[in-house]
Amino acid sequence: MSKDKEKRRIDQLRKLLQHYNHQYYNLSISEVSDFEYDNLLKELIDLELKNPDYSDSSSASVSVGGDSNVEFEKEAHSFPMLSLDNTYSKEELFDFESRNKKLLPEDYQYICELKYDGASISLKYENGILIRALTRGDGTTGDNVTANVKTIKSIPLKLKGTDYPDNFEIRGEIFIPHEGFNEMNRIREENGEPEFANPRNTASGSLKTLNTSIVASRPLDCFLYYIISKNLPSNSHYENMQLAREWGFNVPSIIQKCKDINEVIKFIEYWDIERLNLPYDIDGIVIKIDNLKQQQKLGMTAKSPRWATSFKFKADQVKTKLLSIDYQVGRTGAITPVANLEPVLLAGTTVKRASLHNSDQINLFDIRVNDFVYVEKGGEIIPKIVGVDKDLRTEDSKAVEYIKSCPECGTELVRDEGEAKHYCPNDTGCPPQIKGRIEHFISRKAMNIGAAEATVEALVDKGLIHDIGDLYFLTKEDLLSLERFAEKSASNLIESIEKSKEVPFHKVLFALGIRYVGETVAKTIASELKTIENIKNASLEELIEINEIGERIAASIIDYFKSEIHLKIIDKLKISGVQFEINVDNEQESENKLNNQTFVISGTFEKHSRDELKELIVKYGGKNTGSISAKTNYLLAGENIGPSKLEKVRKLNIPIISEDEFLKMIE
């Protein structure tokens, strides 16, 4: 394909993908399958890589998310981003109405909207292009999270039409729908990772994640609900939001005009019940004066606008009897106490169990067996106990003695300093940990071996495997001895195990299940140290020197390799042919153009992600560090560098080099 044809195809793909995104996220119309969409997106990315001079920051490919890390800079909001006053009763709503009538003798109407339970965001557009995204922060300044926000497909990078203001801000809420949240936790459970507590905290935490590829992998969505500009097309908030939908924004369809506070209350009463059927969390209703001139007339206090308020729903809470406490053992050995309750209806479902989190939580509320406890459901995975009705405490209530030994294997529990949970240290002999580690090892993001949880349980229970290394010594005959295994399914599993020997080293390192070593950490360590032998022999100081590796992770790695059982398992895996080193061309690896020079990377880059630049530095004999010191040789600088870093390198007379200058150094 000629260059001209490639560029025409790029334009065609960008336009097509922008249309599909708008149809799916704004109109809930799926015109193509995920498979077709992904293929088109891949084609666009490949063509853009071949034609870097034809880049466009509003391309749909930008929303895919790369491996680049972004440092968040504080920036001032163009307009203050204030919080809303909260009301909790109908009486307070009538007080809100009375204040408005005193200041607005003319007629006015309210707009009622749902109050989404997520993370607030302010988006700035110039000439139809998204140029900045800020968190609320303190209302005056917020964190610049533009790179992360660009990975959210329901946020348009380039607007539709031409009738939008040249310069404006639009504000909204970033959230995670229930379906996506549940799927995330299902995968985390499979991987033996702690599950996320609730959608709101996960959405907020995702925005502050430094790796944009992680943000892109999360099912974040965004509703927009307020526009600010000096030249808006309408004097009505309601009409402006309808126009914003036409420009490509994901404006909620649930928005209602109300002529007085009585109609507002009817809207609140309806959604207080109906919210249980929504596919996302809300925690109240927002009430606004519709007319923008009337909004200006009412003005603002130091903290909140006078022309708006929010009615907060009470948390779903019930009281029931605590019958007993079970203790569950996770893959990492973490102990979680779970309360068994007298069945009770809560938020439309019958609740029989609730989380007690840890021993500190039990002591904090002085929870006892046979107490009547308050149970709350506020977006948690399972309900949680939030208090005790001590007035109903009887003589048969029993103080909780937190277990001292593992309920599965009897090993004495430990609790590390600074940790909230107790742990069973018998990671190689405790049945739930053994099964959990094997399930983690074979999971999709680790070795990607096609076996179900029930298969792992059957293999362990029958004594065919005792650890992850035994998987590679299974025979077809072993599998055929299990129930529900036929010739084809046995062959498929053996083939899947064989294929896993091709999985790259960083995924193998993650699959080992070393505590605190997740996907990103495993990739960083593998990239720096290259082989399992180097990692095994690394000192605490050497590990801490690796960027983003703290003392807790380093100590966990060292403890892992002290275990003779772990070393024997690794030997089994080595014999089986599992990848335990990075495949790097020997000639390239021997190059030493950077000659142990130390680099600090800051900002965002055009040609490479930050992780790719780090790999290049190591590959050519250099070192990466996360902070600037007198030992730093170069600051490799992209866009949006923090002013504090610039000031420090200038004081220390450290050379600042661009991405192109760095690439010339290693040519």
SS (H, E, C) 13-76: HHHHHHHHHHHHHHHCCCCCCHHHHHHHHHHHHHHHHHCHHHCCCCCHHHHHCCCCECCCCEEE
Retrieve residue 525's tokens.
């360590």
pLDDT of residue 588: 46
Statement: residue 450 has pLDDT above 60: yes
CATH number attached to the domain at 586-665: 3.40.50.10190
Closest CA to 377 of 435, 420, 316: 316
Mean per-residue pLDDT for 144-160? 92
41-45, 114-118, 231-235, 559-563: which range is least confident on average? 41-45
Closest CA to 212 of 106, 329, 63: 63
Cα angle 459, 575, 540 (rounded to 5 degrees) comes to 95
Mean per-residue pLDDT for 128-146? 90
Q: If you write DSSP's letter for every residue of 649-660 in order, what string do you get?
A: HHHTT--EE-HH
Statement: residue 51 has pLDDT above 70: yes
Angle, helices 90-103 vs 261-274, to 10°: value is 150
| Residue 613 burial (10 A CB sphere; 0-12, 13-18, 19+) | buried
- 368 versus 214: the higher-pLDDT residue is 368
CATH pick for 74-94+105-261+275-306 out of 1.10.3720.10, 3.40.50.300, 3.40.50.720, 3.30.470.30: 3.30.470.30
Statement: residue 378 has pLDDT above 70: no
Which class would CATH give 3-64? mainly alpha
Question: Domains of the chain: which residue ranges?
Answer: 3-64, 74-94+105-261+275-306, 316-399, 431-502, 505-576, 586-665
Q: pLDDT per residue over 541-590, tens digit each?
A: 999 988 778 888 999 999 999 999 999 999 999 999 999 998 755 434 44
What is the DSSP secondary structure assignment for residue 264, as one 8-state letter?
H
Per-residue confidence band for 244, with pLDDT thresholds at 50, 70 and 90: very high
pLDDT of residue 649: 85
- 626 versus 248: the higher-pLDDT residue is 248
Statement: residue 123 has pLDDT above 90: yes
Mean per-residue pLDDT for 84-90? 82
Per-residue confidence band for 325, with pLDDT thresholds at 50, 70 and 90: very high
Closest CA to 261 of 296, 285, 277: 285
Cα distance between residue 534 and residue 509, in whole Å: 12
Angle, helices 610-619 vs 519-529, to 10°: value is 20
Task: Map 67-115 to HEC letters.
Answer: CCECCCCEEECCCCCCCCCEECCHHHHHHHHHHHHHHCCCCCCEEEEEE
Mean per-residue pLDDT for 228-247? 94
Torsion sign (Cα): 504, 510, 513, 517: positive
Q: Which of 5, 7, 115, 303 is catalytic?
A: 115
Closest CA to 171 of 242, 231, 122, 118: 122
Angle, helices 178-190 vs 199-207, to 10°: value is 80
Q: Which CATH superfamily is domain 316-399 in?
A: Nucleic acid-binding proteins (2.40.50.140)
Retrieve residue 267's tokens.
């809207």
Mean per-residue pLDDT for 619-631? 80
pLDDT of residue 62: 65
Statement: residue 381 has pLDDT above 60: no
Phi/psi at 322 (5° precision): -90, 115
Retrieve residue 576's tokens.
């089986």
For domain 431-502, give the fold: DNA polymerase; domain 1 (1.10.150)
Contact 122, 81 (CB under 8 A): yes
Statement: residue 525 has pLDDT above 60: yes
Query: In the chain, how long is the greatest CA-to-CA distance?
Result: 86
50 is catalytic: no
User: pTM for the full model?
Assistant: 0.52
Contact 284, 269 (CB under 8 A): no
Contact 201, 158 (CB under 8 A): no
Per-residue confidence band for 610, with pLDDT thresholds at 50, 70 and 90: confident
Q: pLDDT per residue over 2-49, tens digit each?
A: 888 888 888 888 888 877 776 654 454 545 544 556 667 778 888 888
- The rounded mean pLDDT for the chain is 86
Check for a shared fold between 431-502 and 505-576: yes
One-letter amino acid for residue 31 of the chain: E
Contacting residues for 570 by C-beta, under 8 A, at least 6 apart = 469, 512, 532, 580
CATH number attached to the domain at 505-576: 1.10.150.20
Q: If you write DSSP's letter for every residue of 484-528 in order, what string do you get?
A: T--HHHHHHHHHHHHHGGGS-HHHHHHHTT-TT--HHHHHHHHHH
pLDDT of residue 621: 79
Statement: residue 170 has pLDDT above 70: yes
**Which strands form 308-312's sheet, in the order they lie side by side?**
86-87, 308-312, 282-289, 110-116, 255-258
- 625 versus 351: the higher-pLDDT residue is 351
**What is the distance between the terminal CA atoms of the chain, rounded to a whole angstrom?**
29
Contact 655, 638 (CB under 8 A): no
- 341 forms beta bridges with 322
% the chain with pLDDT above 90: 48
Per-residue confidence band for 478, with pLDDT thresholds at 50, 70 and 90: very high
Beta 634-637 vs 656-657: how paired, if at all? Answer: parallel
Cα distance between residue 310 and residue 114, in whole Å: 9
